[in-house]
Chain A
């Protein structure tokens, strides 16, 4: 059997394993709630904040509202346990005692979890559009969705990789979740503080720090991609869901910062996995 086949079998295994942990079901339930209830509330209660001209683009609310918190957190939940849970349950030992390359196992686990994340992301987009159509009628600008899907997937890679790396390094799922979430929320909070201090003092150092925090490119990239492709009225919808302005000044810089976090995180996880012992069951 060729190496791609082995990687593929590990990917399928990882998807099955993650689904069996039931957190994916919880995430799907959250997605359904996030993508239906707000639309229903908006359509029944009405709002003066969103002009009628923006209604044909109201799907962006569901697609973008989840980006800052839900999508990144979903990536963390899936990735942090991918390696660590196997060590905790002692199941890695059996799989790696077979004549398979460690790299294939690593790649299969990483990609399997990521495909699961992409599935939830796609589900979120489809459900947002369906809800928008149901409650607000025909939607426009949907041709950007494939590109937006790819951009959101790429943007979430930063926290997916960080959580995956931490899961491998600490080899305890609860610690990996805590550390990954701590990085995520710290970045979020520090970003808000940096923005405030910059606004008050005007010193660019604070703005620079804010730009290079991991949450900034993760949240900026989808906006930077979608904004030029949608009518200006949609900006109000984005403001409404808290995704109005990109923190990072350019699309390219967002990509660069994302890669600057993602590549080392994957490399560190792979190196540690390669050089460290495969631990037995950790209780």
Chain B
């Protein structure tokens, strides 16, 4: 497995269940030993040189099992001791307050973790990862259990971490829309191997040999639809009421050509846009290429 990640990137680590995402993360964190090969983090073996390797690397686990008998403040205090954060009690309290505020659970600071909801626990898990000054955030399914507002807030937090603080985010996720909207690049793993890696748009183009255009207009005639179909790169049109899903071979942008046809036909054009969530299509396609019999995520 060979994966190079530049500083300041937000990388989506994708793959089906059992593909090796979490194993890979646990290898990086020195929680498990590699059966073959070597792992180096910051140039150090994460097991024998655990402290050096993981200095400035923070981790938020999938479905975190936090110490339910502690309060968020107590857990973060323990983490701050582990990290060797500000030796003064005031400095530590300030840092705890900062991260709790950052993830939006300051008001639950002194409630037992056992009493927190799943979403709150997820927020706390990210809070403990944000303690101190991490340079790399490794997040295993960080959006699980979050409500839409929480997801949006976390996207902002991670974006800011990468863009303003120059941090690197490496996150595994099954929520493709989240990954597509947040990540600057993705890596698709399957069977312990990296299938594709690169900028989101590059991976999509590498995997998919088509793009999708959504057209919404009133007064579209069969004749106009026929003319759109005649455009060389258009391979398929799926009508749906007043809108069309147009499958375009390759990645040429045919929107000006199509809108020109629609306007000239006298139909009212409301919108024309490239389809979003192409990452999900690319992801499914990438996996089906590896294993033609299996097309589901």
Contacts and interface: CB of A to CB of B under 8 A. Distances in A.
A173 to B, nearest CB: 15
Nearest to A1: B84
B132 to A, nearest CB: 10
Interface string B42-84: 0000000011111101010100111111100010001101111
A94 to B, nearest CB: 6
B79 A98 contact: yes
Interface in A76-103: 89-91, 93-102
Interface stretch (B28-36, B196-204, B212-220, B247-255): B28-36
Interface string A1-20: 10001100100010011001
A143 interface: no
A90 B66 CA distance: 8
B57 A99 contact: yes
B29 A97 contact: yes
Contacts of B32: 277-278
Contacts of B50: 99-102
A20 B69 contact: yes
A23 interface: no
Contacts of B31: 93, 96-97, 277-278
B122 interface: no
Contacts of A278: 26, 31-32
Contacts of A5: 81, 84
Contact of A101 (B51, B70, B81, B85): B51
Contact of A98 (B69, B82, B125): B82
Interface residues of A, number: 25
B9 interface: no
Contacts of B79: 98
Nearest to B64: A94
Given A1-B87, A99-B50, A94 B81 contact: no
A17 B70 CA distance: 8
Contacts of B26: 277-278
Given A17-B69, A278-B31, A98 B83 contact: yes
A9 B81 contact: yes
Contacts of B53: 99
B185 interface: no
Contacts of A277: 26, 31-33
A94 B29 contact: no
Contacts of A1: 81, 83-85, 87
B82 to A, nearest CB: 4
A100 B50 CA distance: 7
B54 A99 contact: yes
B168 interface: no
B78 A99 contact: no
Nearest to B78: A13
B128 interface: yes
A89 B87 CA distance: 30
Contact of A94 (B33, B66, B74): B66
Contacts of B84: 1, 5-6
Contacts of B61: 93-94, 97
A137 B91 CA distance: 53
Nearest to A19: B69
Contacts of B30: 96
Given A13-B78, A97-B61, A100-B82, A91 B66 contact: yes
Contacts of B125: 94
B55 A99 contact: yes
Interface string B85-121: 1010000000000000000000000000000000000
A209 B51 CA distance: 46
Contacts of B83: 1, 98-99
A277 B22 CA distance: 14
A102 B52 CA distance: 13
Contacts of B64: 94
The residue in B29, B33, B68, B69 that gathers the most chain A C-beta atoms within 10 A of its C-beta is B69
The residue in A16, A97, A277, A281 that gathers the most chain B C-beta atoms within 10 A of its C-beta is A97
Contacts of A94: 59, 61, 64-66, 125, 128
Given A1-B87, A93-B31, A277-B31, 4 more contacts: A9-B81, A16-B69, A98-B82, A101-B50
Which 8 interchain pairs have the tightest Cβ spacing?
A90-B65, A1-B84, A20-B69, A9-B81, A277-B32, A99-B54, A98-B82, A278-B31
